[in-house]
Chain A
């Protein structure tokens, strides 16, 4: 496993200190750098959990047609062209004529080529071989199928019932939104009790963004617009013979696959049948492009280009353009041997100390810092000290000091020592990267420092500087009885030039570093205890 460095997003929390690396909550708070955003206004990192998201455009994921939001509602969020999804396997269906002889390799395109052949036409899955004739869905003409299918969908009992419910509630919703008491629609007077109220205010206090639960005033409860609502009668009586037929069906069941899975019933079919043989094909659901905003200051962090398949953005404020990138590797000791052996095209990628991280060992590693800014930065690193796990009890007769010893110690340059990283320059982005890595650095006027820094151990400190990358040496000392993974929180601070020439700005963030799993020593004790 290659070591990883993940970056912390405090997610608007007032407590910026992340949980210890082995806490279950840790994995929710750390992200790869390239998944994070940066709000300049708030001078803070944002992640997908703490940005607010708006739809900026809809498109069909199959025909890639951009659908104007005006038609999205009428077409019920699904593609109105010839794009259909297999109710069994979710593959895209093809339109096939009844005479397969001319059916061009058994699969016709839903795209522009047009369908030739004899009616009736049906939908066919070229993956699981489902076809719509099984459920009596056939078409006289191979065109305008989506409209024909939507008529089926709209006439399904569930859909009709839903329409009726909407009609029934429409006047109530209109009345309550115009009454100036929007709270009335959100509160549930039936549930008021002191416990709910207390829990709600505690939640509102602890979690920003949660609106405190406010029940409607008592006086209003009896005469809200709610009371003007007439009783709703469903189209069909629910109690019927259907249940007994289902019992019958289940009794004769031979294979589990005869019962439609929940995902098939609820997402891949316009009806929700119990039997998989009753599943209906559906039009492909639309997908959307999204604009993302900082939820604190509402500034836009991500704004995609209008064109559905464009991968460009009008606004893209990502953390990778602000924070130094970090990657860690163990220098592989047997590189020379591999070179000599001239082994085949084998990657020296598994570099976790070549033979793994053994308990009791000391392993040097290299941390590369890459500066994305057009100004030089100075970085300071501080590995959070390791707390021994609570289960780590003193062995009988062992000194308590030994018991308190952390499972491993990470040595980095002293926290106060500043590691310089040169500015990013476009020139270094040249196509011919290998010139930069393999070529003569002095030609580019770059300084090269070796063994600087000022850590106490040998090889701790700045090892190399080239372009906008500084490589820092560190080492990890693993305890003799240590187990688990080598994972630690690391505080990173960097200073950069600001508009004020007298004072540099500083930015601080947490990372979690995962160096890999410790290979326990096969000692006498462990053999006997097994």
Chain B
């Protein structure tokens, strides 16, 4: 019943922890990026680990949990602001079981666990998305928005549409795990 999603084996790099990163994705500053394991970075995605707080050494800029999906053409860019005269980037933390649809731009500060973000969305700077929330396709979330747990947001600007079912956590977990299982390499 699990319809496989095939990809040519050579197109993705698989890590020891089961992350699958497309060779066609742009991963800047990889030393500043953490992938939790079994996370998929699709073709054409851009992850800006290079945009870090000023200063020497490396710090975690973007961290993604387990069973995440960064869709095709997504841009993940850490949020920034000028505070008391100083410009700085701030880290972005994404939880486990988070799917981000194709061509979405994410500049959130934190995204909880079991979150679904649709395609063609803009998640503004310093947005906080709590657990089990869902952002519908084509939604624009302005900077500094807080999205409570178990709620669906949609629109431009995105606002509350409805409460999500109490079993959202189980449903999203099953769906994200199943997606990873279905995402299979095929030898050319």
Q: Which residues of A contact B83 (CB under 8 A)?
A: 104, 113
CB of B148 within 8 A of CB of A309, answer yes
Once A126-B142, A310-B149, A347-B5 are accepted as A-B contacts, the answer to whether A342 and B186 lie under 8 Å apart by CB is yes
A244 located at the interface, meaning its Cβ lies under 8 Å from any Cβ of chain B in the complex: no
Taken together as a complex, chains A and B put the C-alpha atoms of A496 and B161 apart, in Å, by 39
- Encoded as 1 (CB less than 8 Å from any B CB) or 0, chain A from 95 to 121 comes to 000000010110101100100100000
Beta-carbon nearest neighbor of A436 in chain B: B181
The residue in chain B whose Cβ has the minimal distance to the Cβ of A325 is B174
Q: Does A230 contact B (CB under 8 A)?
A: no
How far is A348 from B6 in the complex, measured between Cα atoms in Å? Answer: 8
In the complex, the answer to whether A316 meets B166 with C-beta atoms within 8 Å is yes
Q: Which parts of B81-126 form the interface with A (CB within 8 Å)?
A: 81-85, 114, 126
A421 within 8 A of B: no
B59 within 8 A of partner (CB): no
Q: Say yes or no: B6 contacts A346, CB within 8 Å.
A: yes
Given A59-B148, A64-B146, A109-B144, verify A345-B181 contact (CB < 8 Å): no
Residues facing A in B127-182 (CB within 8 A) are: 130-132, 142-146, 148-151, 157, 159-160, 163, 165-171, 177-178, 180-181
Using CB atoms, name the residue of chain A closest to B140: A127
Q: Which of A62, A109, A345, A346 has the most CB of B within 10 A?
A: A345
**In the complex, what residues of B have CB within 8 A of residue A302's CB?**
166
Cα distance A63–B83 in the bound complex, in angstroms:
21
Q: Contact: A62 with B146, CB < 8 Å?
A: yes
Q: Are A348 and B4 in contact (CB-based, < 8 A)?
A: yes
**Using a Cβ–Cβ cut-off of 8 Å, how many residues does chain B contribute to the interface with A?**
50
Judge if A313 is at the interface, Cβ distance under 8 Å.
yes
Name A278-317 residues within 8 Å CB distance of B: 287, 290, 302, 304, 308-311, 313, 316
The answer, among A110, A320, A327, A345, for a CB contact under 8 Å with B167, is: A320
Residue numbers in B under 8 Å from A64 (CB-CB): 130, 146, 148
A318 within 8 A of B: yes
**Residues 335-351 of A at the B interface (beta carbon under 8 Å):** 335, 338-339, 342-349, 351
Say yes or no: A91 contacts B167, CB within 8 Å: no
Contact with B along A318-342 (1 / 0, CB 8 A): 1010000001010010010011001
A34 near B: Cβ within 8 Å? Answer: yes
Residues of A within 8 A of B178 (CB): 433
Whether B8 pairs with A342 at a CB distance below 8 angstroms is yes
How close is B184's CB to chain A, nearest CB, in angstroms? 9
B43 within 8 Å of A by Cβ?
yes
How far does the alpha carbon of A471 sit from the alpha carbon of B148 in the complex, in Å? 38
List residues of chain B with CB within 8 A of the CB of A338. 6
Which residue in A287, A318, A437 is a CB contact (below 8 Å) of B166?
A: A318
Q: Could you list some 11 contacts between A and B, CB below 8 A? A: A90-B159, A92-B144, A92-B145, A92-B146, A107-B144, A345-B7, A345-B43, A346-B6, A368-B1, A433-B178, A433-B181
The 5 closest A-B pairs by CB, nearest first: A368-B1, A345-B7, A127-B142, A34-B167, A91-B157
